[in-house]
Chains A and B, each alone.
Chain A
Amino acid sequence: MSSDDNRATSSVDAGLATGIGTDTPDGEPLVRVENLQKYFWENDSLLDRLLGDEPVAVQAVDGVSFEIREGETLGLVGESGCGKSTTGETLLRLQEPTDGRVEFAGTNVYEMEGSDLTAFRREAQVVFQDPFSSLDPRMTIGDIVQQPLDIHDVGADEERRERVRDLLERVGLSVDQLDRYPHEFSGGQRQRIGIARALALEPEFLVLDEPTSALDVSVQAQVLNLLEDLQAEFDLTYLLISHDLSVIRHICDRVAVMYLGEIVEIGPVEELFEDPKHPYTKALLESVPRATTDERERDRETLAGDVPSPRDPPSGCRFRTRCPMVIPPEDLDIDQDTYRELMTVRERIESRDISLETVGDDDQFTVEDGSVPEADIPAFVAALKRRLFDEPLPPHHDEIVETALTELAASNWEDAAAILRTEYESVCERDHPGLGNNTHSVACHLYGTAADFEGAVDPNSWRG
């Protein structure tokens, strides 16, 4: 990469050198993320090691790959804790990755050193979520916006001040507010200051980490419009991180949906919103309440349960513990809802999340040393079954469940789980579904080889 390659400069920054060459060969993406991994380690202090505690990995981002082409906006959407912010920070090298590779304009970001790294820092900027804590309360906004210019030693003093004034006007603040402090501004105005600061060095690429989630809707709309205008004016490339699907839909060209550290679906925004493939994407879209009068009548299926812990993510497909379309074994004749219920019960047995002491009415069964007296076992099994299942099971499955629950009566958790596992093991837990490499890709067995199985559900049968 040539470091003296000056980009065509606008009137504003005439004479301000931008260092990095951002010319990308035709068709090459500006940012390429390959198999990015970021684990945070718990119990990893010296004391923990002396005490012999095993470090635990929080798998915040686990094997994420995507590309961002020049001038486009890629949205990264998901629920809290899915790793979307960590992805943004890691690809900017604000966090060191555990594994994987990020290329910016063809150069590996994690191998950059010295002037290359400084140049990258200039070209890739970030706007943070919280406009109240991301501005230094002891600096005037003029100083805040000028700081990047000072650090990177761009231009002479007068030029810098001129540039700050231009920037503030550009984001819609007036120049006579230069000497004010952040606390004198409202949330929307502060977010504008954050955007001005990010633009100070004329970056190519901006990571917008929930830029509007701290703002009221009317102010959010102002900021979204501003971001769109700026992108058109300065040919910016955005990575927009948000949990708000309507914001994503409004401003992005392509979207990646994240769940528990992985991308489950990626595609053009239109296509993904009109024709979502992954059951999680569908559920996510279903869950958003629409601001129309039809909303009360709209039937929608809600996802049960919570996101599992990223310390110990489920095997295979990570969404399988909540997925309403989890795929039954191919030779099994079973109703989808019943299968979902069975899988949920199985997970509870595997995680020993059932209290045996409280089965039945008031102390009906005495559990001694973990087991119920021989004579009580049938009654115990019946009571436990009533508690775990809302509806009676079909006879064949009823038998299997009873055998498993009988094992529980003696607290044989492993055996109970094993019985159910042999009968009901799903492809979703065995194999990790890969994300294809198409324009619209989805990591779900319903669309891979599994979709050819006879027992598989029609992916379009569930749209709530």
Chain B
Amino acid sequence: MTDTDDILRVNDLSTRFFTEQGQVNAVDELELRIERGEVFGIVGESGSGKSVTARSVIDLIDAPGEIIDGEIWFDDAELAETVREDAPDAVDGSFVDLLSVSPAVRQSLRGTSFSMIFQDPESSFNPSLTVGEQLAEAVEVQRRASANPRSTKAKTDSAEYSFGNLLLSTVLPSQQFVTEESRERAIELLELVGIPDPVERADEYPHEYSGGMLQRAMIAQALAGEPDVLIADEPTTALDVTIQAQILDLLDDLQTETGMTILLITHNLGVVARMCDRVGVMYAGEIVERGTLEDVFDDHVHPYTEGLLGSIPELGGANGQLEPIGGNVPSLLDHEMEDRCHFADRCPMAMEDCLDHPPEFDAAGSEAHTVRCVLATQSYTEREALPPNYFGDTERPAGDKHAEPAHSDGEQPAERTRTTISDSGGESR
């Protein structure tokens, strides 16, 4: 891989959640390289850690979550210059390690360098303000930030944003912190994302918008600061297919137009196929297989990737019985995770070597294709296969061959990630 094009390099990123049930290893020593101008997709099932990865990059992890280790190198020569004085260790050439700079600097990058769109547009807007106001506010914040790039925080703490001022603004128009220029820019943004009659629409409240239009408005808001990297967390999951197609086309067009980099988080393999240049498949907090779209869809090595693709009913023709992956997404609780391949207990091809945690092996296909599975270096042999009930009692009731393994020893079935991650992951702001 040519490293000159990278805009983002994530090394050894580990994000943990410290919950009552124990420590949850949501993201575990994750490596990620994203090139400038590409669309990188992270695909995985719920609870695999894909949203937490995205949120870690943009520093939106709330308690009880914490990024406990890792480096996030971001390529921005200008930022590198500014930071060099205060934190020389955090700079390497034009790259800046976002995790070693001060939180204020990180915050100043939000909107201007990184921006995020969320899954559920309906809950991401304030219902009591018009869409135009909310967009103009984003524009205003970005404008002030770029006027004085590294101190957005100081700006937003100033008298202009005080509570008294907010009350005053309800009676005195002059006190409103959204200027006329910001409003106009907001309307331009609405037009850019294809909202008909943006001037009128700007004065409407979120409930007057349809789901697809709100998602457009949210994209407009994310574009307010002309970000280098747009993180889209399940941007079309809440939408109908015809609207999903519109939104994907819009993202595609905007990407071509602005050349921005998109990190797309989704569970939908069709969306990945439509949008992405390169893909990472996440499982249990790790990327288990990554590469170009062709590598992952056609030349995949990991049985999990195989299982994911085999689970989708085909639109083009009946593909007989589906071949689902048995079992459930595993527990990410630290004390329940063993140091082995995390997929081994569901894997139809588990071998003795899978009891050691596999590193990332190079795999056939493009240079970028790597896989966290021993099958990259050896082929499956019956001789080394693990006995079927190796991982506890996996005996299934005779009546159903698609059953999930029974949990016999009083251990809780895979449930935990829902309760822990969903508070912090997901869509709300």
Contact = CB atoms under 8 A, between A and B. Distances in A.
B211 to A, nearest CB: 8
Given A250-B314, A355-B197, A218 B45 contact: yes
Interface centre among A172, A222, A251 (most CB of B within 10 A): A222
Interface stretch (B136-144, B166-174, B410-418): B410-418
Contact of B245 (A183, A216, A247, A300): A300
B213 A306 contact: yes
17 contacts: A79-B240, A172-B403, A177-B406, A218-B307, A221-B324, A225-B321, A225-B324, A226-B400, A245-B315, A250-B318, A270-B318, A284-B242, A291-B269, A292-B273, A292-B297, A293-B297, A306-B243
Interface in A137-188: 169-174, 176-177, 183-186, 188
A74 interface: no
A76 to B, nearest CB: 15
A306 B316 CA distance: 26
Contacts of A216: 45-46, 267, 329
Interface in B267-320: 267-275, 293-294, 297-298, 307-316, 318-319
B404 interface: yes
Nearest to A172: B403
A289 B404 contact: no
Interface of B: prevailing SS: loop
A189 B413 contact: yes
Which of under 10, 10 to 19, 20 to 34, or 35 or more describes the interface residues of B? 35 or more
B322 A221 contact: yes
A217 interface: yes
A354 interface: yes
A173 B326 CA distance: 13
Contacts of B293: 293, 296
A290 interface: yes
B333 to A, nearest CB: 14
B298 A249 contact: no
B21 interface: no
A285 interface: yes
Contacts of B313: 221, 224, 246-247, 249-251
B176 interface: no
Contacts of B310: 221
Given A284-B242, A292-B297, 10 more contacts: A219-B328, A221-B313, A221-B323, A228-B321, A247-B313, A250-B314, A284-B241, A289-B248, A293-B293, A296-B273
B45 A217 contact: yes
Contacts of B272: 291
Given A287-B245, A289-B248, A291-B273, A80 B240 contact: yes
Contacts of B351: none
Given A172-B396, A221-B322, A293-B297, A288 B315 contact: yes
A289 B271 contact: yes
- 6 nearest A-B pairs in the assembled complex, by CB-CB distance: A172-B403, A289-B270, A221-B324, A250-B313, A295-B273, A172-B400
**A interface secondary structure, majority:** helix
A6 interface: no
A188 B325 CA distance: 12
Contacts of B22: none
A183 B419 CA distance: 10
A107 interface: no
B45 A246 contact: no
Nearest to A183: B415
Given A174-B397, A184-B415, A249-B314, A288 B270 contact: yes
B297 A245 contact: no
Interface string A226-254: 10110000000000000101110111000
B45 A289 contact: no
B400 A290 contact: no
B397 A188 contact: no
Nearest to B397: A169
Contact of B242 (A225, A246, A302): A302
A170 B399 contact: yes
B153 interface: no
A225 B398 CA distance: 15
B415 to A, nearest CB: 6
Contact of B404 (A79, A188, A287): A188
Interface of B: 45-46, 196-197, 199-200, 210, 212-213, 240-246, 248-249, 267-275, 293-294, 297-298, 307-316, 318-319, 321-326, 328-329, 396-400, 402-404, 406, 408, 412-415
B311 A169 contact: no
B45 to A, nearest CB: 4
Contacts of B200: 353, 355, 358
B245 A302 contact: yes
A225, A249, A302 interface centre (most CB from chain B within 10 Å): A302
A229 B397 CA distance: 14
Contact of A222 (B46, B314, B402, B406): B402
Contacts of A300: 245
Nearest to B236: A289
Contacts of A243: 240-241
Given A284-B242, A293-B297, A172 B197 contact: no
A252 to B, nearest CB: 10
Contacts of B275: 296
A412 interface: no
A273 interface: yes
Contacts of B316: 290
B193 to A, nearest CB: 14
B349 to A, nearest CB: 16
Nearest to A233: B399
Given A184-B412, A245-B241, A293 B294 contact: yes
Given A216-B46, A225-B322, A291-B269, A246 B404 contact: no
